[in-house]
Structure 1
């Protein structure tokens, strides 16, 4: 599974970073970065939680 971000929707509030810091990060300009969109093992469940927690629905998980 892979996770991606729609930057047009993202407010970079960082909820996803708190849930899955191995994948998400905020740069110095508060732009959300996806370090490696590939989710493995326990990251899948936390990736799905990040998607459902995103207030702007800017995240997607795909096969």
Structure 2
């Protein structure tokens, strides 16, 4: 069976900067995705059915 001990290495400052920048980018991306409306994908619509018609008032 494989050895499952955790290996820990000190993180260099350049690695720490990259990790920090990546986490900030992910946070900004998630915030943007939460603020935007969900896309209209027409999931569940049968292809043979026409689009619904809007009534003019």
Q: TM-score scaled by structure 2?
A: 0.27
More relative contact order in 1 or in 2 (CA 8 Å, sep 6+)?
1
More helix by proportion, 1 or 2?
2
TM-score, scaled to structure 1 = 0.25
The answer to which structure has the higher strand fraction is: 1
